[in-house]
Amino acid sequence: MLTVDNLEKTYDSGDKALKGVSFEVSGNEIVAIIGPSGAGKSTLVRSINRLTEPTGGRVSLDDTVVTGLGKSALRDVRRDMGMIFQEFNLVERLTVMENILSGRLGYLSTWNAFRRNFPPEDIKRAREILSRVNLDGVENNRADELSGGQRQRVGIARAVIQRPKILLADEPTSALDPDTSREVMSLLTDIAHEDDIPIIINIHEVDLAIDYADRIIGLSDGEIVFNGPPDELDQAARDDIYRGGESIADREEPSASNNTDSDDVIAERGD
Ligand SMILES: Nc1ncnc2c1ncn2[C@@H]1O[C@H](COP(=O)(O)OP(=O)(O)OP(=O)(O)O)[C@@H](O)[C@H]1O
């Protein structure tokens, strides 16, 4: 179970992005985080595995208190938290197979990681996952030859091969067209059910959240103002979430700012 307790994040700029956020996620629940631009959705998802360092509160995964772990223990617990990114964060010059296998780098010795010596069971599992995410036939293509939807499937496969206890997805559909977004959401739902793990998804499209999530958390100005099943997200709840904020219809470009330190999580694994 993931427990987020009174989580706070104040950036050096003074921006209070999270003002005491608390919730729990367990089982194979799909939890969508929605809210207007600047509400703190991305900060919340990235604070869970400390890609963004929270300034207060506590995150626990089962018996491990993630906040407060030293660097090496944090690296270990990040293996339990698969991360999926808006801009995919693939290594463009590497093949699909190599990108997927990079999800296992954190499990190899430094020398084997450096040489990319993956054990046969990792390669076997990578092939199985490749098939599961419908990437059969493109395993030897370079990542930069793929469509956006295919790239996100590689990103998902790379997270799944870690055998995580939970998946965190930071705007996984923002760079995709509507049909591909639905395919990706459907794939994520299948994975949650088949692997029996929860998924927390920061998502802009309220319709997708309603159609695919079991529970919706609405953030407004760094605080949770809604936490319930999609069928309870009535107009009053929407007004609470989006009051004063930029409405989704007003949004122009999705933020590309989430690429800055996400490379760290890959770099941590030896890339
Ligand atoms: N690296 C940073 N430095 C300073 N302030 C930041 C940083 N990242 C985010 N913020 C601020 O924190 C607040 C929450 O931002 P965050 O990106 O988490 O919101 P969001 O809901 O994900 O927005 P969007 O939907 O536009 O991506 C905003 O006021 C934002 O300006």
Q: What is the pLDDT of residues 63-107, one digit of tens each?
A: 999 999 999 999 999 999 999 999 889 999 999 999 999 888 877
Domain coordinates of the chain in residue numbers?
1-80+166-176+192-249, 89-163
Gap from CA of 222 to ligand 1 centroid (Å)? 10
Encoded amino acid at 56, one letter: G
Q: In which residue ranges of the chain is pLDDT below 70? A: 244-271
CB 47 within 8 A of CB 132: no
- Report DSSP state, residue 259: G
What is the b/e burial string over 41-67, where b = at least 16 CB atoms within 10 angstroms of the residue's CB? bbbbbbbbbbbbebeebebbbeeeebb
pLDDT at 103: 86
CA distances from 39 to 36, 185, 193 (A): 5, 22, 29
The β-bridge partners of 56 are 8
pLDDT at 258: 41
pLDDT at 3: 98
Gap from CA of 16 to ligand 1 centroid (Å)? 9
Nearest CA to ligand 1 atom 27: 255
Q: Give me the interface pTM, i.e. the ipTM.
A: 0.97
pLDDT at 106: 75
For ligand 1, is residue 37 a contact (CB within 6 Å)?
yes
For ligand 1, is residue 15 a contact (CB within 6 Å)?
yes
Q: Which residue has the tokens 């790379």?
A: 158
For ligand 1, is residue 43 a contact (CB within 6 Å)?
yes
For ligand 1, is residue 174 a contact (CB within 6 Å)?
no
Gap from CA of 77 to ligand 1 centroid (Å)? 25
- Report DSSP state, residue 164: -
pLDDT at 244: 52
Gap from CA of 220 to ligand 1 centroid (Å)? 12
- The CATH class given to the 1-80+166-176+192-249 domain equals alpha beta
Encoded amino acid at 66, one letter: V
For ligand 1, is residue 241 a contact (CB within 6 Å)?
no
pLDDT at 105: 81
For ligand 1, is residue 17 a contact (CB within 6 Å)?
yes
The dihedral through the CA atoms of 65, 68, 73, 77 has a sign that is positive
**Within 10 Å of residue 255's Cβ, how many Cβ atoms?**
15
Give the total residue count for the chain.
271
